[in-house]
């Protein structure tokens, strides 16, 4: 009897613990070509687990809708395969993200460009088939000629056409951020108010982590250690673009997957840049743009834009950091 009473006591306190004390529920999924860690901080771990499963499924759908790789059909691939001046109906989220991408392309003077498809593909970094040699400049020039968001046109509701043959969309610099935002939105639908989705170092956080801020480590682009960490509270996204994930070195020159749309070659203005923004979609696109601009051109723009902060390691590994990050960045 005593044993039963103790046991019952244990069960009750366990249930109470599960329902009332806040704790992290963590899950890891492989999607978007990377490891995605979900952390939900809540007082109901069962709901948290259901919310994470749903968010991961939602993010997988976004991936399938935007990817230009693999066998799955989607409207982005249909657009890429279409002839010039042949309108293609894009899925509503693709339509919306393409409109947002083109306005970001304008804001950032073409340093972020959602229509570098053929050029990116030829460099081969995203397919895992990166050439161990730089592309010949004639080939880069030819591919650059058929690249650019200026050659895609919206001609009706969700209806898009290319105005130059061979122009391909590539959402590689923004779709991961968008997927993270959709994951967060799904968690919110399940009533989650405090969470973090971390897709291979690109993340969005929601709410506070009890009394403590979330601590976000920033990787050093040339060392195994981190550069330092950010202490972030509230709703924020932190996305990094770096030249260290996918690259090769030829004749002492580093070639990597972030291209300068002006030259068609990998940009050499930065080693890495971390951007803080209200949404992961914005942080993702802006981190690519700021990588291409480098801090000299980028910092004044960041300082003049409400809601955006950035931290660079420039081409000489010099740390440049926007004023809003100074109080929350801790160097190692």
List residues binding Mg ion (CB under 5 A). 173, 284, 287-288
Rank residues 261 and 294 by Cβ distance to ligand ADP and give the closer one: 261
Helix (H, G, I), strand (E, B) or coil at 241: strand
Q: Choose the one of Mg ion, ligand ADP, none that binds residue 161, judging by a C-beta under 5 to 8 angstroms depending on kind.
A: none
Rank residues 93 and 124 by Cβ distance to ligand ADP and give the closer one: 124
Vertex 229 angle, CA 225 and 232, to 5°: 155
- The CA distance from 138 to 53, in Å, is 47
Q: Any idea what DSSP says for residue 323?
A: G
Among 63, 113, 181, 243, binds ligand ADP (CB under 6 A): 113
In the complex, least distance from residue 291 CB atom to ligand ADP, rounded to whole angstroms:
6
Listed in sequence order, the DSSP H helices in the chain are 2-20, 45-66, 75-81, 92-107, 117-123, 137-145, 175-189, 280-303
Among 261, 264, 294, 295, binds ligand ADP (CB under 6 A): 261
> Which residues have CB under 8 Å from 111's CB, separation 6+?
260, 261, 288, 289, 290, 292, 293
Among 149, 172, 294, 298, binds ligand ADP (CB under 6 A): 172
Rank residues 284 and 309 by Cβ distance to Mg ion and give the closer one: 284
In the complex, least distance from residue 202 CB atom to Mg ion, rounded to whole angstroms:
8
29 φ/ψ angles, rounded to the nearest 5 degrees:
-125, 150
CB distance 182 to 62 below 8 Å: yes
Name which of 72, 157, 149 is nearest 103 in CA terms: 149
Rule CB under 6 A: is residue 176 a binding residue for ligand ADP? yes
Rule CB under 6 A: is residue 116 a binding residue for ligand ADP? yes
Counting residues that bind ligand ADP (by CB under 6 A) gives 20
The residue whose Cβ lies closest to ligand ADP is 172
How would DSSP label each residue in 249-286? EETTEEEES-B-TTTSSB--SEEEEEEEESSHHHHHHH
CB distance 56 to 26 below 8 Å: no
Among 241, 270, 274, 301, binds ligand ADP (CB under 6 A): 241
Rule CB under 6 A: is residue 257 a binding residue for ligand ADP? yes
In the complex, least distance from residue 229 CB atom to ligand ADP, rounded to whole angstroms:
20
- The CA distance from 81 to 310, in Å, is 37
In the complex, least distance from residue 289 CB atom to Mg ion, rounded to whole angstroms:
8
Neighbours of 246 (CB within 10 A): 16
Rank residues 172 and 183 by Cβ distance to ligand ADP and give the closer one: 172
Q: Choose the one of Mg ion, ligand ADP, none that binds residue 160, judging by a C-beta under 5 to 8 angstroms depending on kind.
A: none
In the complex, least distance from residue 280 CB atom to Mg ion, rounded to whole angstroms:
10
Binding mask 281-310 for ligand ADP (x = CB under 6 A): ---x---x---x------------------
In the complex, least distance from residue 301 CB atom to Mg ion, rounded to whole angstroms:
16
Which residues face 26 on adjacent strands? Answer: 39
Vertex 120 angle, CA 316 and 310, to 5°: 40
Q: Choose the one of ligand ADP, Mg ion, none that binds residue 181, judging by a C-beta under 5 to 8 angstroms depending on kind.
A: none
Q: Choose the one of ligand ADP, Mg ion, none that binds residue 59, judging by a C-beta under 5 to 8 angstroms depending on kind.
A: none
CB distance 267 to 309 below 8 Å: no
Q: Choose the one of ligand ADP, Mg ion, none that binds residue 186, judging by a C-beta under 5 to 8 angstroms depending on kind.
A: none
Residues that bind ligand ADP (CB under 6 A): 111-113, 116, 120, 125-126, 170, 172-173, 176, 241, 245, 257-259, 261, 284, 288, 292
């Amino acid at each position: 009897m005593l044993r039963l009473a103790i046991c019952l006591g244990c069960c009750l306190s366990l249930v109470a613990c599960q329902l009332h004390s806040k704790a992290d529920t963590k899950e890891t999924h492989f999607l978007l070509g990377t490891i995605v860690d979900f952390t939900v901080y809540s007082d109901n771990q069962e709901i948290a687990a259901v919310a994470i499963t749903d968010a991961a499924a939602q993010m997988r759908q976004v991936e399938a809708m935007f990817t230009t790789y693999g066998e799955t059909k989607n409207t982005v691939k249909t657009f890429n395969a279409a002839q010039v001046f042949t309108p293609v109906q894009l899925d509503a989220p693709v339509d919306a993200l393409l409109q947002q991408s083109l306005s970001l392309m304008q804001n950032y003077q073409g340093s972020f460009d959602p229509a570098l498809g053929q050029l990116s593909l030829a460099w081969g970094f995203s397919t895992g088939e990166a050439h161990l040699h730089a592309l010949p400049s004639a080939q880069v020039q030819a591919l650059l000629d058929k690249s650019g968001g200026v050659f895609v046109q919206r001609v009706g509701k969700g209806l898009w056409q290319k105005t130059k043959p061979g122009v391909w969309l590539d959402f590689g610099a923004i779709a991961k951020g968008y997927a993270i935002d959709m994951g967060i939105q799904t968690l919110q639908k399940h009533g989650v108010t405090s969470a973090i989705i971390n897709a291979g170092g690109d993340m969005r956080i929601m709410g506070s982590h009890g009394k403590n801020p979330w601590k976000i480590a920033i990787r050093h682009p040339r060392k195994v250690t981190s550069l330092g960490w950010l202490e972030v509270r509230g709703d924020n996204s932190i996305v990094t673009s770096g030249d260290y994930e996918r690259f090769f070195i030829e004749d002492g020159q580093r070639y990597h997957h972030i291209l300068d749309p002006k030259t068609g070659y990998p940009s050499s203005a930065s080693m890495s840049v971390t951007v803080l923004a209200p949404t992961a979609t914005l942080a993702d696109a802006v981190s690519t743009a700021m990588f291409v601009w480098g801090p000299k051109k980028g910092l004044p723009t960041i300082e003049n834009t409400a809601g955006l902060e950035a931290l660079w390691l420039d081409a000489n590994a010099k740390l440049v950091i926007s004023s809003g990050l100074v109080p929350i960045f801790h160097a190692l």
